[in-house]
Amino acid sequence: MYDQFQEHLTNELAGIRDAGLYKSERAITTAQGAHVGVKGGAEVLNLCANNYLGLAQHPEVNAAAVQGLHDWGYGMASVRFICGTQTLHKELEEKISAFLGTEDTILYPSCFDANGGLFETLLGAEDAVISDELNHASIIDGVRLSKAQRYRYKNNDMADLEAQLQAADKAGARFKLITTDGVFSMDGYIARLDEICDLAERYQALVHFDDCHATGFVGAGGRGTHELRGCMDRVDIITGTLGKALGGASGGYTAARTEIVDLLRQRSRPYLFSNTVAPPVVAGAIRAIELVSEEPALREQLARNTAQFREGLERQGFELLPGEHPIVPVMLHDAALAARFAEAMLELGVYVVAFSYPVVPQGKARIRTQMSAALSSDDIEFALEAFGRARAAVGLS
């Protein structure tokens, strides 16, 4: 039987390669950071990590993780409700709640799991979920697992969101939940969360947002999109990650109202049937959250780097998606061209990745770059020079 299935898989993979959409994994030979070693090559400047605050190899985060390993062990070999909850896990959950301004928090192995276990637990067939069209795959998959009626609105379009809320009301929805990314990871666009809250209050809906690409550095105190938009006390559910700005290891969470978190602990399948987040990761994340408050200079450096990089690319005539977020998409539109551009950049000593369909829409291929507080001004200038040289190398006018 496998012979036929193997032929099917081989054809599928060949089609992916022929379309220029095959994703190869480049092995890194060093620790994560502003500069990394790549297998078969020299050290390169890294512009594609989610290491926004540079905490992935921060010495204090590393030291906290090592101490966590010493004090609490390597792993728990259990799910939370059996024998997998240490006081360390409760400490991290309390810190996240205090930082984000929520009543309680529940940890998951990843934010993908947090989103995957959210909608099915909270909503039934008589309810409705209204989702932004550009939401992350984890939200899309989580919504699919739910029996709730599904409505989709155009990206950041409040008029269309209102129309979908009205449609859900007309269909007789018992409860309505609006779900959005706080920051849309392919574009760097920030959700109009305050306006979403306005509509939610008008139509008696709940509000959920995934803030993976904001927690730690967006908003005056780094608390995220709800802080930036001035609606911290108006949202109901936040999902997020420890795998980006907050140390970059692994783990996710749902921070929400007490009863929501309590029900998730009882019924959310990714939580109930997944191992506990490893103690060294938890210990490192606790220190990372503390550093966000103790070292605002990290956010300031990230903002300076983002402004310098955007201004430099614009001077060279590159097409950028507008915004202030450290995600800086350089639009090339053609998938094959984007792939060649990324290879040219690597030869010039800069590690970037091309994104194309199905990760982004057809005709919207790009180089998605991400700034980090770990980058110096000289690093930014080096990257800008490489972009100019790569542009010539691939024949862009």
Q: What is the pLDDT along the chain (397 residues), one digit of tens a residue?
A: 899 999 999 999 999 888 777 888 888 999 999 999 998 778 999 999 999 999 999 999 999 999 999 999 999 999 999 999 999 999 999 999 999 999 999 999 999 999 999 999 999 999 999 999 999 999 999 999 999 999 999 999 999 999 999 999 999 999 999 999 999 999 999 999 999 999 999 999 999 999 999 999 999 999 999 999 999 999 999 999 999 999 999 999 999 999 999 999 999 999 999 999 999 999 999 999 999 999 999 999 999 999 999 999 999 999 999 999 999 999 999 988 998 999 999 999 999 999 988 888 889 999 999 999 999 999 999 999 999 999 999 988 7
**pTM higher than the cut 0.85:** yes
Do 36 and 77 lie in one domain? The reply is no
- Does residue 215 sit within a domain? yes
Whether residue 342 contacts residue 26, with contact meaning beta carbons closer than 8 Å, is answered with no
Q: What is the CATH number of the domain that holds 165?
A: 3.40.640.10
Q: Is residue 243 marked as binding?
A: yes
Do 175 and 217 lie in one domain? The reply is yes
Q: Is residue 242 marked as binding?
A: yes
Q: Which residues have CB under 8 Å from 274's CB, separation 6+? A: 79, 108, 109, 113
Q: Is residue 136 marked as binding?
A: yes
E strands, 97-215, where? 104-108, 128-132, 149-153, 176-181, 183-184, 189-190, 206-210
Do 111 and 205 lie in one domain? The reply is yes
- Among candidate residues 138, 146, 185, 356, the one labeled active-site is 185
Q: Provide the domain count of the chain.
A: 2
Do 66 and 162 lie in one domain? The reply is yes
Q: Which of 275, 294, 313 is the last residue of a domain?
A: 294
Q: Is residue 185 marked as binding?
A: yes
How many Cα atoms are found within 13 Å in the side-chain-facing hemisphere of 191?
37
- Does residue 14 sit within a domain? no
Q: Which of 277, 294, 311 is the last residue of a domain?
A: 294
DSSP string, 220-283: TTS--HHHHTT-TTT--EEEEESSSSS-SSS-EEEEE-HHHHHHHHHH-HHHHTSPPPPHHHHH
For residue 294, count CB atoms less than 10 angstroms from its CB and return exposed for 0-12, middle for 13-18, buried for 19 or more: exposed
Do 345 and 228 lie in one domain? The reply is no
Range of the domain at 244: 59-294
Q: Which residues have CB under 8 Å from 14's CB, separation 6+? A: none
- Does residue 248 sit within a domain? yes
- Does residue 368 sit within a domain? yes
Tokens of 2: 């496998």
Q: What is the CATH number of the domain that holds 328?
A: 3.90.1150.10
Strand bridging mode 237-241 / 252-256: antiparallel
How far apart CA 266 and CA 263 sit, in angstroms, is 5
Of the candidates 101, 112, 118, 239, the residue with the CA atom closest to the CA atom of residue 181: 239
Do 159 and 302 lie in one domain? The reply is no
- Does residue 131 sit within a domain? yes
Do 215 and 331 lie in one domain? The reply is no
Do 97 and 222 lie in one domain? The reply is yes
- Among candidate residues 89, 176, 208, 213, the one labeled active-site is 213
Number of Cβ atoms within 10 Å of the Cβ of 233 = 9
- Among candidate residues 208, 244, 325, 364, the one labeled active-site is 244
How far apart CA 253 and CA 246 sit, in angstroms, is 12
Q: Which of 274, 294, 314 is the last residue of a domain?
A: 294
Do 34 and 128 lie in one domain? The reply is no
- Does residue 2 sit within a domain? no
Do 281 and 369 lie in one domain? The reply is no
Q: Is residue 138 among the annotated active site residues?
A: no
102: helix, strand or coil? coil
Q: Is residue 275 marked as binding?
A: yes
Residue 190's beta-bridge partner residues?
183
Of the candidates 34, 384, 124, 100, the residue with the CA atom closest to the CA atom of residue 242: 100
How many Cα atoms are found within 13 Å in the side-chain-facing hemisphere of 395?
3
Q: Is residue 213 among the annotated active site residues?
A: yes
Do 88 and 134 lie in one domain? The reply is yes
Q: Is residue 24 marked as binding?
A: no
Residue 291 Cα distances to 97, 100, 188, 211, 339, angstroms: 16, 15, 24, 19, 37
Q: Is residue 244 marked as binding?
A: yes
- Does residue 5 sit within a domain? no
- Does residue 333 sit within a domain? yes
